[in-house]
Amino acid sequence: MKRAEVINHCAEVKRRSLARVMSKQGICSRQEAVRWIESGKVRVNGKVAQSPELLVALNAKIEVVGVETPLPKKTLRYVVMNKRRGVVTTHRDELGRATVYDDLRPFLIRQNITERLFAVGRLDKDTEGLLLFTNDNQLANFLTAPENGVPKTYLATLNKSLTTSALEQLQSGVEIKARGEHYVAQPRDIVQQSARVIQLTLSEGKNRQVRRLFEAIGYTVEHLVRIGFAGLRLNLLCNPPKLNSQPLASGECIECQPEELLKGLG
């Protein structure tokens, strides 16, 4: 399916509060949305909205009286990095550590890409693998929205062999804590490639989720690579690794099309 078809299909069936949808569409913050709605300045599909809690489709046509809504960017870019270990996913690091943008910048210069790109989600410093950069806010929101369940696949090497009982725990779901909140993380797919190497696919994207998942059942992740994100797949059996049949060495980048990202989704 094409980018617009996938996003619109999911947007039509999913409804959220008007204030939240305005934020997701990049019109304004939720707080600004509430003020504008309550002052009667917002129209949804041509009708004046009465409440910030009004449920609307994610692709609803929203207008704000006296305010120009954002125009789509003329050139949308999609760059995939095979992130190397030891770099952080931030523009500037207070500790002076290398960042993913240090690796991205030379690629952008070589390809004459002048648009400002941002990372879609993040990988922690010691995690390698697929990381997407884009200036497509709509697609980025789609890929990161929890309700869309976009798959992310990881290859984890553990500090010891995974027992049968531990594997059953993973399959049943494990309660973990992140940022003061407890929740149950349940991989949608698990493949034990060897005693210590586990491939698992998640639909969520919480901070350090894979590492916390294994820590909760008594294991330490020694090496972690994200090998799948949305419709992208990194083949580590090749040297250098390949992304959908194209070489992509550690620390390197490649441009891709939105159709590749959305393959199999929707």
Domains and CATH numbers, the chain: 3-64 (3.10.290.10), 78-145+231-261 (3.30.70.580), 151-229 (3.30.70.1560)
| pTM attached to this predicted model | 0.76
Catalytic residues: 124
CA Rg value for the chain: 20
Q: Which are the contacts of 251, defined by CB distance < 8 A and separation ≥ 6?
A: 81, 82, 83, 84, 103
pLDDT digits (tens, 9 = 90+) for 202-246: 998 777 899 999 999 999 999 999 999 999 999 999 999 999 889
Q: Are the C-beta atoms of 198 and 156 separated by less than 8 Å?
A: yes
- C-alpha span between 196 and 223 (Å, rounded): 10
Peptide bond before residue 240 is cis, with ω within 30 degrees of 0: yes
pLDDT digits (tens, 9 = 90+) for 39-94: 999 999 888 999 999 998 877 788 888 776 655 545 899 999 999 999 999 888 88
